[in-house]
């Protein structure tokens, strides 16, 4: 009985010969399987020892072979059969065992020996071998580094070399890097997301830092390192005699707009609408303008904001209490009895800010029914301005304002604690400010249209509101033309329009004339503005979930919307409720909170009960 060693699909196999013809053999493997093989594929014939014993002994002998000596014994220019290499290495006619051991060694060292056909090999060139060995060592060190990092991550420590890869490792990873593969492996082992693994190790600040960091990484880079920006030469603008005042919420630090009121004569008031003027500090071709174009808008989120302009610009332009600032002003001559605006005049002037009024302080001391208040600054002015705002609204077709049915929410974040305060949407003081802003935006848009100048106009057709370089009606406001001009510290379109208005008021040529570029900026702003608003809503949802955790809320009241969605009471939070789709929209229900995931910003609730309908 004879045995053979043969190659099958690149693998070395052994078998006992059962039958043989001129070109084929039938063999039986050591584990009993029978196969038909080609005689040409046989690498070695032998009679002793048995295949199983031969394989075991060859594996032991293989470990004693000096791989470098074997490589050095091979010529570089030609291919060698493994039996010839065994003879060269051993220095004598090799036994079956020695031949098989050498073959096993050749098979196990592909970077030293390149396999050819039917037991033949070619030795790797020195340069190729050197590079391959360096790569092998590099992989060994990487495997060691990865193993050490996995051990550290499991113990709650993040290696410095992983931290150095942040934030790209989290938000835009290269999946071929060792850092990514290590973090993914740790995520799988610890059964946490990569962000949670890093948070557990203190490499990132937690879920809030993860969400905010992802947004900033995608949309923002660092500010320019320029320490200052070259401001335009200050001009001797006429100084307005009356101190002005602003009305904003408690967290507004970019104060764009302010108001004034004075008596002109027995029949007329002069109402001033004053807008901050960063456009006087830098022009559209400046480096600072490039930074504004890069951000396009201030981004708001609970607990913080990302300003469109650097703080040094805001500090120089914001209408802060006690400061004097140049501003673009629209002065309205208003008839005292009819409240009709009989004259409008636009100009650049220097104003003195007498007060920054805050909405929460005003509303706490203001009676909306009687328009009375206790110790409210500018109370008489506010009454007149409110009456004017109502008149302006009527003039553009708003006949009667409905009672606010919805709420806006103020998020007060201090450290990790959040307080959520509802506030009726469309409160009278809000409407006062809104109507005066509509007035200045409408009028200045009209001046740009009349001059035939480019601008970024706000338009609304049948259902769609957006930006346009061409003036068109804003159906929602009932206006023939409208442009954002009142928030140049916070929105790029307002800044563009201000550059134009500054030139227009001074009877100069327009600052912006490239229609194609302005159109591109308009589209970029719309994309960015939508993304920023989506992010703000996402973070409001995130902090709503944080509030539920903070207050240990387990059940809550909600009102059903359509298709099984429900709005939680007292929170800007809508959630899908299993089993509620069959109930009528408007139904009040009690929900049980089953799980909150602040990383995924997900809330899972269960319907507890349906509240009875109250019959009036």
Q: pLDDT digits over 45-68, tens only? A: 998 898 999 999 999 999 988 888
The average pLDDT across 331-349 equals 95
Residue 370 has pLDDT above 60, yes or no: no
- Asked if residue 585 lies in contact with residue 579, where contact means CB atoms within 8 angstroms, the answer is no
Q: Could you tell me the pLDDT band of residue 380, with boundaries at 50, 70 and 90?
A: confident
The per-residue DSSP string of 564-579 comes to: TEEEETTSS-EEE-TT
Q: Where are the alpha helices (DSSP H) in 376-427?
A: 379-395
Q: Could you tell me the pLDDT band of residue 367, with boundaries at 50, 70 and 90?
A: low
Residue 468 has pLDDT above 80, yes or no: yes
- Asked if residue 535 lies in contact with residue 299, where contact means CB atoms within 8 angstroms, the answer is yes
Max Cα-Cα span within the chain: 130
Phi, psi of 475, rounded to the nearest 5 degrees: -65, -35
Q: Could you tell me the pLDDT band of residue 615, with boundaries at 50, 70 and 90?
A: very low
Partnered with residue 300 across adjacent β-strands are: 305
Residue 494 has pLDDT above 60, yes or no: yes
Highest mean pLDDT among 18-27, 286-295, 441-450 belongs to: 441-450
Residue 71 has pLDDT above 90, yes or no: no
Give strand ranges (E) for 102-186: 113-115, 120-123
According to DSSP, the β-strands at 588-597 and 555-560 are: antiparallel
Domains of the chain: 3-124 (no CATH), 128-205 (no CATH), 244-531 (no CATH), 553-610 (2.40.50.140)
Q: Mind listing the pLDDT tens digit for each residue in 139-179?
A: 999 999 999 999 999 999 999 999 999 989 999 999 999 99
Before 49, cis peptide (omega within 30)? yes
What per-residue confidence (pLDDT) applies to 123?
87
Please provide the average confidence, as pLDDT, over all residues in the chain: 89
d(CA 525, CA 288): 17
Q: How many CB atoms lie within 10 A of CB 342?
A: 11
What per-residue confidence (pLDDT) applies to 613?
64
Portion of the chain with pLDDT greater than 90, in percent? 61
Residue 404 has pLDDT above 70, yes or no: no
Residue 610 has pLDDT above 70, yes or no: yes
Q: Could you tell me the pLDDT band of residue 348, with boundaries at 50, 70 and 90?
A: very high
Q: 234: which DSSP letter?
A: P
Residue 132 has pLDDT above 60, yes or no: yes
The per-residue DSSP string of 471-485 comes to: ---BTTTTBS--B--
- Asked if residue 111 lies in contact with residue 129, where contact means CB atoms within 8 angstroms, the answer is yes
């Amino acid at each position: 009985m004879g045995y053979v060693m043969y190659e099958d699909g690149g693998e070395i196999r052994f078998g006992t010969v059962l039958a043989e013809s001129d070109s084929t053999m039938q063999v039986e493997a050591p584990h009993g399987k029978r196969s038909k093989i080609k005689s040409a594929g046989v690498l070695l014939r032998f009679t002793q020892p048995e295949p199983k014993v031969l394989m075991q002994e060859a594996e032991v002998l293989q470990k004693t072979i000096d791989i470098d000596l074997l490589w050095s014994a091979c010529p570089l220019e030609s291919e060698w059969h493994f039996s010839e290499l065994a003879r060269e290495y051993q220095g004598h006619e090799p036994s079956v065992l020695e031949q098989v051991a050498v073959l096993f060694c050749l098979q196990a060292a592909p970077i030293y020996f390149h396999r050819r056909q039917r037991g033949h090999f070619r030795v790797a060139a020195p340069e190729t071998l050197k590079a391959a060995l360096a790569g092998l060592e590099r992989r060994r060190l990487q495997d060691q580094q990865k193993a050490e990092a996995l051990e550290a991550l499991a113990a709650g420590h993040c290696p410095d070399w992983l931290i150095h890869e942040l934030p790209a490792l989290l938000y835009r990873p290269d999946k071929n890097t060792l850092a990514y593969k290590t973090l993914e492996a740790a995520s799988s082992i610890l059964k946490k997301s990569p962000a949670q693994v890093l948070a557990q190790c203190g490499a990132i600040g937690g879920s809030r830092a993860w969400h905010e960091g992802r947004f900033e990484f995608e949309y923002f880079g660092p500010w320019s390192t320029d320490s200052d920006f070259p401001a335009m030469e200050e001009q001797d603008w006429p100084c307005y005699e009356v101190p002005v005042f602003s009305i904003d919420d408690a967290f507004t630090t970019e104060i764009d707009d302010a108001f004034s009121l004075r008596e002109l004569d027995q029949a007329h008031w002069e109402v001033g609408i004053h807008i901050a003027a960063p456009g006087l500090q830098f022009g559209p071709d400046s480096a600072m303008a490039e930074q504004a174009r890069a951000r396009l808008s201030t981004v708001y989120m609970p607990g913080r904001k990302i300003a469109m302009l650097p703080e040094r610009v805001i500090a120089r332009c914001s209408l802060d209490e006690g400061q004097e600032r140049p501003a673009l002003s629209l002065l309205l001559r208003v008839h005292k009895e009819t409240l009709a605006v009989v004259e409008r005049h636009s100009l650049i002037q220097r104003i003195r800010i007498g007060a920054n009024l805050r909405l929460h302080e005003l509303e706490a001391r203001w009676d909306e029914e009687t328009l009375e208040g206790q110790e409210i600054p500018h109370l008489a002015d506010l009454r007149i301005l409110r009456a004017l705002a109502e008149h302006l609204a009527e003039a553009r077709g708003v006949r009667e304002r409905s009672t606010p049915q919805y709420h806006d929410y103020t998020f007060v974040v201090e450290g990790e604690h959040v307080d959520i305060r509802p506030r009726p949407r469309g409160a009278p003081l809000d409407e006062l400010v809104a109507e005066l802003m509509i007035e200045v935006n409408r009028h200045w848009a009209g001046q740009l249209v009349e001059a035939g100048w480019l601008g970024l106009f706000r338009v609304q057709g049948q259902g769609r509101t957006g930006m346009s370089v061409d003036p068109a009606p804003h159906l929602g406001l009932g206006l023939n033309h409208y442009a954002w001009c009142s928030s140049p510290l916070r929105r790029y379109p307002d800044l563009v329009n201000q550059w134009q208005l500054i030139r227009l008021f001074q009877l100069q040529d327009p600052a912006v004339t490239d229609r194609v570029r302005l159109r591109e900026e308009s589209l970029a702003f719309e994309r960015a503005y939508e993304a920023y608003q989506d992010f703000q809503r996402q973070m409001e949802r995130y902090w709503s979930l944080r509030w539920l955790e903070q207050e240990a809320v387990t059940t809550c009241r909600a009102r059903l919307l359509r298709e099984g969605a429900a709005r939680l009471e007292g929170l800007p939070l809508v959630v899908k409720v299993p089993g509620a789709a069959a109930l009528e929209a408007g139904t009040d229900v009690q929900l049980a909170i089953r799980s909150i995931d602040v990383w995924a910003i997900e809330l899972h609730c269960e319907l507890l009960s349906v509240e009875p309908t109250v019959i009036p």
